[in-house]
Amino acid sequence: MSGITVIEHSVEKAQPLPFPPGMGGHDLLSIHDLSPKEVEFILNLGRQVKAHPGRYAHTLEGKELALLFEEPNLCTHVTFESAMTEAGGKCVAVGPQEVGLGKREAVKDVALNLPRSVDIVMARAFSHESLSELAEHASIPVINGLSDFEHPCQALGDYMTLLEHKEHLAGLTLAFVGDGNNVAHSLIYGATRLGVRIKVATPPGHEPSAAVVAEARFEGGDVYLTDDPGEAVAGADAVYTDVWTSMDQKAEAEARASVFRPYQVNAALMKNAKPDAVFMHCLPARRGQEVTDEVIDSVHSIVYDQADNRLHVEKAILLSLLS
């Protein structure tokens, strides 16, 4: 598959990007919802707002973002609130005790109520179905800040970071080692849009969704599955891992740790990758579990650049959907 064209000229000299027709007012629940050109646009706009924050400082004046959290979260709260306010808008955050989608209040009622007060919603929910229902009934854009099925804003920030470090994306090989979870799903969809080969190593029974893999392959994506982490990492340009236990799996933590221990990203595993391979993690990390200190603190680690770029990509998403 040929990769999309990503702007390669210096972002310091770049002119403001025109917003692509059709993005404004839409939802972003999945990277699969985006066309290759829309992914390209978000990554390039993210690079522009990072290089020229003042250029977009008043773009969202008069707009308000609601942040809905079904579980506490630091980074998503901080980055989305910063992204909105730095673009001139306002934010209101609602925590787990007030949200309770489908429990404290029907999802449909939440969706019909919020547009009377705010212009856009970012929801971090346990259930992807809740987000889909929220988007179905809301007359304003809904952004998936994380669900049990996908983490699109994270993956978009990740690919922006990889672009910064590798200067191109098409033809790169990304190895994902660990659990075939929500992050893996978004990375697979993103890889398909960007012409990146993705190799996923998981223990048997923990593979990414068969539907996600089938969709990606049908659309021309190069997705390789294995249960051998060394095979996945061999020749990779980037090695990515995530926590072994997340969201509603805490009761299984001890059992999962035993299953996933052979999938730890350590110095020995990284030696299978290219000499200039980078290490990636969406954070927070469980040091000593899915990754060793030696790897996450190495010169090859770009995890904090990923965290930084979440803010810039989220600002690009807000600008695009509210344009």
Q: Point out the residues that are catalytic.
A: 124, 151, 154, 242, 282, 310
Q: What is the spatial distance between Cα 119 and Cα 140, in angstroms, rounded to a whole number?
A: 6
Neighbours of 98 (CB within 10 A): 11
Q: What is the spatial distance between Cα 273 and Cα 173, in angstroms, rounded to a whole number?
A: 10
- Buried b / exposed e over 54-77, threshold 16 CB at 10 Å, is eebeebbeebebbbbbbeebeebb
Q: What is the spatial distance between Cα 170 and Cα 258, in angstroms, rounded to a whole number?
A: 36
For residue 78 the two structure tokens come to 């901080």
Q: Which of 240, 150, 148, 244 is nearest to 196 (CA)?
A: 240
Q: Kindly state the DSSP code that residue 208 receives in the 8-state scheme.
A: P
Q: What is the spatial distance between Cα 223 and Cα 310, in angstroms, rounded to a whole number?
A: 24
Phi, psi of 310, rounded to the nearest 5 degrees: -55, -45
Q: What is the spatial distance between Cα 212 and Cα 92, in angstroms, rounded to a whole number?
A: 33
